[in-house]
Amino acid sequence: MTADATTPLDGERLFTQLVYREDGSVGRITLARPQVRNALSMRLSEELLRAIELARESRSLQMLVIDGAGETFCAGDDITEMPGWGNANDVVRRVRSYQRMADALEDLDKITVAAVDGYAVGGGLEITMACDFVVATERARWGMPEVDSGITPGWGGTTRLSRLVGRRMCKEINLIGALYPARRAVELGLWNRVVADADLDEEVTRLCEVLGSKNQQALRQLKVIIDRGAEGDLHAAQGFELLSAGFSAAVNGAWEIDDCDSGKGIQEFAEKGDLWRHRRALARDFWTG
Closest to 95 in 3D by CA, of 174, 158, 154, 145: 154
Choose one of 146, 181, 212: the last residue of a domain.
212
192 DSSP assignment = S
Q: Same structural domain for residues 249 and 127?
A: no
Residues 183-212 have a mean pLDDT of 98
Count: domains in the chain? 3
57 counts as catalytic: no
Cα 257–258–259 angle (5° rounding)? 95
Q: Same structural domain for residues 27 and 82?
A: yes
pTM: 0.89
Q: What's the residue count for the chain?
A: 289
Q: Is the pLDDT of residue 9 over 60?
A: no
CA atoms lying within 13 Å on the CB side of residue 22 = 17
- Radius of gyration in angstroms for the set of CA atoms belonging to the chain, rounded to a whole number: 23
Q: Which of 126, 203, 241, 268 is catalytic?
A: 126
What is the structure's pLDDT at 258? Answer: 87
With bands split at pLDDT 50, 70 and 90, how would you rate the model's confidence at 255?
confident
126 counts as catalytic: yes
Q: Which residues pair with 21 in a beta bridge?
A: 12, 28
Q: Same structural domain for residues 48 and 88?
A: yes
Residue 281 maps to a domain? yes
- State the amino acid at position 17 in one-letter form: Q
For residue range 142-192, list pLDDT tens digits in order. Answer: 999 999 999 999 999 999 999 999 999 999 999 999 999 999 999 999 999
Q: Same structural domain for residues 264 and 249?
A: no
Question: Between 207 and 235, whose confidence is greater?
Answer: 207
Which residues constitute the domain of residue 168?
A: 12-212
Q: Which of 146, 202, 241, 268 is catalytic?
A: 146
Which parts of the chain fold into alpha helices (H)?
42-57, 88-106, 123-129, 159-165, 167-176, 182-187, 200-212, 216-230, 234-251, 264-271, 274-283
Q: Same structural domain for residues 70 and 174?
A: yes
